Amino acid sequence: MNWNNFYNLIKNRYPVLTVKDIKIIANDEIKSIQLSRWVKKKLLAKLRRGIYFLPENVKISSFILANKMFEPSYISLESALFYYGLIPDIVVANTSITSRKTCRFKANGQNFIYQKIKPELFFGYEEIKINNWGFLIASPEKTILDYFYLNQNELKNEDDWRELRINKDLYLKEINKNKLFKFCKLFNNQKLTKIIKEFDKYIRTN
């Protein structure tokens, strides 16, 4: 398959491509040496091993990149807290949850961090569309739970919670209390449940 035919198949459809995607799209007609030539000619850009995108998409959302570069994963933790306006500080890395291994790497001039969670806790995310493309991100409630679950030892009391600088007004607007505790129950973690109950009460009464 030549470049023009391949390009017409992927433009506006695949913001980021894995080797697996390419094999499916091209019916296994494209070999690694051909991909290397296209990268050398700058027809394709290589994000990391086995991950490619069109140079015209260089400004693509980092959340879309994060989802695709390490699957399965969804945006959560600090990145999602900031996305929902729950914390004021711009985060320096794209943070995600994965059911695979914890890892971090740099691609397209940005830092990506993936934190492992048990497969049975890999839920509570939804798709957000940007034009024709979308990314997976934890719901506001699951974002809170992911963050507290992975940082239980550092988020034990009011002093710790105060340092988070959670936006109370947006918390009350974005967080569905029933959904929060429904999800929390699925974690089956008494320590987490206790902390979340106390934290939610702290936010709603202070």
Q: For 93-128, what is each residue's pLDDT tens digit?
A: 999 999 999 999 999 899 999 999 999 999 999 999
Q: What is residue 159's predicted lDDT score, i.e. its pLDDT?
A: 94
The Cα–Cα gap between 77 and 144 comes to: 7
Q: Using only C-alpha atoms, what is the Rg of the chain? A: 20
Tens-place pLDDT, residues 59-99: 889 999 999 999 999 999 999 999 999 999 889 999 999 99
Q: Are 80 and 137 in contact (CB under 8 A)?
A: yes
Q: What is residue 1's predicted lDDT score, i.e. its pLDDT?
A: 87
The correct answer on CATH 1.10.3120 for the domain covering 3-57 is: no
Task: Please count the other Cβ atoms lying within 10 Å of the Cβ belonging to residue 192.
Answer: 16
Please name the helix (run of DSSP H) or strand (run of DSSP E) that holds residue 77, with its range, or none: helix 77-83
List where CATH 1.10.10 sits in the chain: 3-57
Give the distance from CA 71 to its chain's centroid.
Answer: 10
Query: 58 pLDDT exceeds 90?
Result: no
Residue 33: what are its φ and ψ, rounded to 5°?
-65, -35
* Percent of the chain at pLDDT exceeding 70: 100
Q: What is residue 29's predicted lDDT score, i.e. its pLDDT?
A: 84
AA letter at 2? N
The number of C-alpha atoms within 13 Å of 140 and in the hemisphere containing its C-beta is 18
pTM of the entire predicted model: 0.93
